[in-house]
Structure 1
Amino acid sequence: MKKTSIRVLLAILFVSSKLQAQSVAVADLQKWPKGASPVEIGKRVADRFIATLHPNFGRPTPPKVITYPEVCAWYGALKFSQGSKDKKLKQALVARFEPFFGPEANMVPLPDHVDYCVFGCIPLELYTQTKEQRYLDMGKNIADKQWGPPEGPRVKPESQGFYDKGYTWQTRLWIDDMFMITAVQAQAFRATGDRKYIDRAAREMVMYLDSLQRDNGLFYHAPDVPFFWGRGDGWMAAGTAELLRSLPADNPDRPRIMEGYQKMMASLLKYQDEKGMWHQLIDDPESWPETSCTGMFAFAMITGVKNGWLDQKTYGAAARKAWLGLTSYIDENGDIREVCQGTNKKNDRQYYLDRRRITGDMHGQAPVLWCAAALLQK
């Protein structure tokens, strides 16, 4: 071989190896710029959670019961304390729960609605980390009530029909449910090892996927509201990832759930902007970058890459970009900006574009903590 040919070949190999190394770096979920690591960010946001009183959807008055956004942030903080091995943080999170066994017992939500039952995630995670029986008793009771017979003022005409078919009577076919329901049932499975919890959550998930997922992999906010609202889809993305990470390989519903999850993740890649963000209306470039949905989608992708369900090169790069974009919205207090306020459904594009943008709302704080915890998983 001529010397010129050898030099050309070596140059090609050098460029190829350099491009490959750059590709790996872009998709790397281990090394981060100073101030953007999951340990640093998670600590700031978790400490902010500890310092925050029980929120009430932005109202100045305290809530009557613990709200689901606080539950979601609390769960993320507990998972982060475990992943970062922060014993002081864990102790603070345990201490925050203690009043529910005494003077604040009335703040424990009644398990008669999906947004209330998700509270069970917290005592079940506390049990997993501490092995104190009282946490298991509380959390297991909530998970069992969710699949018990319909009772109470929230029962609707269709509730009995869902119950008779083996679904929770709290079924309402809102995409939010696929985090609220699957999270507490998956937690009950992790705490007890009893497969009934995760098996029934999986069956419920399949019903929601079959009923609500669109051909493009995304989900309308509701069947009668044809808009791909960011956080609504975020609940589904996070819920499928949370379920799949503990769903046994031999569960008959696992292939269908994995199919729906991967289809959604592939669709989301198309809508991530150049700064790593997803928007208030996912497919509407005129809508604003929204942090709570970005955090939820990032969590779903991080979890998928870590568990080998998603291609690391493609989705690792998207997840890294999302995390760096997301952390740029966190202020000096540990509060994240540009969080869509609590939102009901409405068949009106402008309604979604005009939603108030909040700083420090738990809807946005929670997924930052989920991401930080997921990034720390080996």
Structure 2
Amino acid sequence: MAGTALASAQVPLQEKSAPPASPAAPHVPLGGSSLTEWPAGYDPKQLGTALAAHFQSTSHLRPTRIIYPEVCAWYGALEVARVTGNKELIAALQARFEPLFTTENALLPPRGQHVDFSMFGSLPFELYILTSDKRYLDLGLSYADAQWASPDAQGLTPETRYWVDDMFMITIVQVQAYRATQDAKYLNRAAKEMVSYLDKLQQPNGLFFHAPDVPYYWGRGNGWFAVGMTEMLRELPKGTPERARIEQGYHTMMASLLRYQAGDGSWRQLIDREDAWPESSGTGMFAYALISGVRHGWLDAAQYAPAARKAWLALAGYIDQDSNVTSVCEGTNKLNDLDYYLLRKRRTGDFHGQSPAMWTVAALLREA
């Protein structure tokens, strides 16, 4: 995402290791299409709870401002706590937020200035949904409404810049506002924005350029769009004109992802290049989109469930014994240069990778 320096918060790179042993289902095979039965060491509830607890034990990513990677991980930890019914973890994650109303108020990002700042609003909405505390609703709405305070002639937010990342960053705030209020204006904003980005960035092969002037299929960038479309489809009513367009974009992308998925279930830093390294954050985001599609019936289970299962198995294999996700692409700006993408540093414990691992656990464990 845009120019975020994360080096100070990184855990030193570690060798990839097998997931921790689990006593559950030791004889379940790796193959197949089940999204509910897992071999020992791959149980999503166990791994997700460990990932969420690990996040809770960390300090703020930056001492001066809450930034989007921490928001994404915080949101993921809350989703894991929600789907597992872990009230103690929800309370701890809520307590982490409480100082932002008082002693840590200066850490709140500015409103209505940049997509990276505005997406913070998705977090208080999640806490409102879980607790019904109106303070969270009011805070979330201050971000969602500031984002659309002066829309352009097409009804798009001034934060529109046509970077592939934005299709989670912008839309999740508005989708969460809809989930918290049931006011359709928020969903309509997000849908209109997403269709504009689909028309601008999606290529005939179903994948997305990083930006109109950067013709590379960056893995995590495409992952942001895959997750953004998934969240839209979870909420947008059938029959809505924008839904048909988003479904088309989603299906075209998912078909392309099947073609580029590696034998171990992962995807690469540049999706279409075999000389690019396997990367975990994009793999996690694609796993989330595929699993959600199968679970909701948007994707044919016979065709996509095996790929969704392989994607989770690959993602779980990137989680080390300390609940850190390995082989995560570092924070990435846009640049029209092949080596810029091929030579991105691999991080361990980076929130860009921790977040989609927790989102995927939630997708596997939630009822729908």
> TM-score, normalization: structure 2?
0.90
* Distance in 2 separating the partners of 1:117 and 1:141: 9
Cα contact 1:38–1:375 (8 A) shared by 2? yes
Matched residue of 2:170: which SS?
A: helix
Task: Name the counterpart of 1:97.
Answer: 97
Task: Name the counterpart of 2:53.
Answer: 47
Task: Name the counterpart of 2:83.
Answer: 83
* Distance in 2 separating the partners of 1:347 and 1:24: 39
Task: Name the counterpart of 1:30.
Answer: 36
Offset of 1:169 from its aligned partner?
1.1
2:324 to 322, 332, 335: 335
1:362 to 348, 351, 354: 351
Cα contact 1:147–1:163 (8 A) shared by 2? no
Deviation beyond 3 Å, 4+ runs, structure 1: 22-25
Task: Name the counterpart of 1:292.
Answer: 281
Task: Name the counterpart of 1:147.
Answer: 148
From the superposition, tell whether residues 334 and 140 of structure 1 become closer, same or farther in structure 2 (CA, over 3 Å): same
Structure 1 window deviating more from structure 2 (245-254 vs 262-271): it is: 245-254
* Distance in 1 separating the partners of 2:344 and 2:221: 14
From the superposition, tell whether residues 23 and 51 of structure 1 become closer, same or farther in structure 2 (CA, over 3 Å): closer
The amino acid of 2:186's aligned partner reads Y
Structure 2 residues without counterparts, runs of 5 or longer: 1-27
> TM-score, normalization: structure 1?
0.88
Offset of 1:24 from its aligned partner?
12
* Distance in 2 separating the partners of 1:186 and 1:67: 19
The amino acid of 1:148's aligned partner reads A
* Distance in 2 separating the partners of 1:245 and 1:336: 27
Structure holding more helix per residue = 1
Task: Name the counterpart of 1:127.
Answer: 128
Task: Name the counterpart of 1:6.
Answer: none
2:260 to 251, 264, 271: 271
1:1-378 map, 5 Å: 26-56=32-62, 62=63, 64-111=64-111, 112-149=113-150, 163-378=152-367
Matched residue of 1:98: which SS?
A: helix
* Distance in 2 separating the partners of 1:319 and 1:41: 17
The amino acid of 1:133's aligned partner reads K
* Distance in 2 separating the partners of 1:363 and 1:186: 21
Cα contact 2:30–2:38 (8 A) shared by 1? no
The amino acid of 2:169's aligned partner reads M
Cα contact 1:280–1:289 (8 A) shared by 2? yes
The amino acid of 2:98's aligned partner reads E
The amino acid of 1:335's aligned partner reads N
Cα contact 1:241–1:300 (8 A) shared by 2? yes
Task: Name the counterpart of 2:10.
Answer: none
Structure 1 window deviating more from structure 2 (345-354 vs 80-89): it is: 345-354
The amino acid of 1:47's aligned partner reads A
Cα contact 2:29–2:38 (8 A) shared by 1? no
The amino acid of 1:118's aligned partner reads M
Offset of 1:25 from its aligned partner?
6.9
* Distance in 1 separating the partners of 2:135 and 2:109: 17
Offset of 1:140 from its aligned partner?
1.1
* Distance in 1 separating the partners of 2:105 and 2:215: 41
Highest RCO, 1 vs 2 (Cα 8 Å, sep ≥ 6)? 2
| Percentage of matched positions with identical amino acids | 54
* Distance in 2 separating the partners of 1:31 and 1:289: 25
Cα contact 1:24–1:313 (8 A) shared by 2? no
Cα contact 1:23–1:313 (8 A) shared by 2? no
* Distance in 1 separating the partners of 2:83 and 2:345: 33
The amino acid of 1:322's aligned partner reads A
Offset of 1:35 from its aligned partner?
2.1
What do residues 176-204 of structure 1 show as CA deviations (whole Å, max 9, x unaligned)?
A: 11001111100000100100000110011
Task: Name the counterpart of 2:18.
Answer: none
* Distance in 2 separating the partners of 1:133 and 1:47: 26
Larger gyration radius, structure 1 or structure 2: 1
Question: What RMSD, in angstroms, separates the aligned Cα atoms of the two structures?
Answer: 1.5
The amino acid of 1:99's aligned partner reads P
Cα contact 1:199–1:251 (8 A) shared by 2? no
Offset of 1:45 from its aligned partner?
0.6
Offset of 1:305 from its aligned partner?
0.8
What do residues 52-81 of structure 1 show as CA deviations (whole Å, max 9, x unaligned)?
A: 11114xxxxx3x211101111111111111
Matched residue of 2:155: which SS?
A: coil
* Distance in 2 separating the partners of 1:181 and 1:98: 24
The amino acid of 2:288's aligned partner reads F
Q: How many residues align?
A: 339
Cα contact 2:52–2:77 (8 A) shared by 1? yes
